[in-house]
């Protein structure tokens, strides 16, 4: 029973780290990356769909993303969707290909993005602490129901705490990597 609780907590904590990594990928660091356009929604036959469902998204060079819509009539729609997104980029279309140049970041914008990254990391830490609390509460419930002893409870809580510490270290490592990536000129 204790092993199941610890395994569940470990799985959930790893999902928090994965979610943080995904969120960090969306914070642009001045280089072109296809994940920058992941959240762009395009109107397609009456409903909004992700850009990746109506076009191929690729990298031309370190500062340019290419978008190739599958239908000719979607070129202007995709271009407008990218332009109105919160990325602050100006796409250029040439035939069936849309090029999205990624401008270099200013020092002020870099600092703002570091703040966003720190906020995302703190949210991940909070999620991990909540998972720890849930696991410890479940263990205490087992003690109340006399399914485990106090010694087993104490040992399990120590294991959950070690797991929490290791996961928070992973989160801090992801944050440090992103900060150095953002501040690199």
Cβ burial of 109 (10 Å; 0-12, 13-18, 19+) is middle
- By the 10 Å C-beta count (0-12 exposed, 13-18 middle, 19+ buried), 179 is classed as middle
Residue 79: its H or E element: helix 75-84
Q: What is the pLDDT of residues 103-130, one digit of tens each?
A: 777 888 788 888 889 999 999 999 999 9
- Residue 172 CA to residue 152 CA, distance in Å, equals 30
Predicted TM-score (pTM) above 0.75: no
28-62: pLDDT as tens digits: 666 777 777 878 889 888 888 888 888 898 988 88
Which pLDDT value is given to residue 140? Answer: 92
pLDDT band at 173 (very low <50, low <70, confident <90, very high): very high
Cβ(2)–Cβ(143) below 8 Å:
no
**Tokens standing for residue 150:** 């106090």
Residue ranges and CATH numbers for the domains of the chain are: 2-26+106-183 (1.10.132.20), 34-101 (3.30.1360.40)
């Amino acid at each position: 029973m204790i092993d199941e609780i610890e395994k569940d907590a470990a799985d959930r904590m790893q999902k928090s780290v994965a979610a943080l990594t995904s969120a960090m990928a969306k914070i642009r660091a001045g280089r072109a990356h296809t994940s920058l356009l992941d959240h762009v929604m395009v109107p397609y036959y009456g409903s909004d769909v992700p850009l990746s469902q109506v076009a191929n998204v690729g990298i031309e060079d370190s500062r340019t993303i290419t978008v190739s819509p599958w239908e000719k009539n979607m070129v202007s729609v995709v271009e407008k969707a990218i332009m109105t997104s919160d990325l602050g980029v100006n796409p250029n279309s040439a035939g069936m290909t849309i090029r999205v140049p990624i401008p270099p970041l200013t020092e002020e914008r870099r600092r703002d993005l570091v703040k966003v990254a720190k906020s995302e990391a703190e949210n991940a830490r909070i999620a991990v602490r909540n998972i720890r609390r849930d696991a410890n509460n479940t263990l205490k419930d087992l003690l109340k129901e006399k399914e485990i002893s106090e010694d087993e409870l104490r040992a399990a809580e120590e294991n959950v705490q070690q797991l929490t510490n290791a996961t928070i270290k992973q989160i801090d490592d992801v944050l440090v990597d992103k900060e150095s990536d953002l501040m690199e000129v």
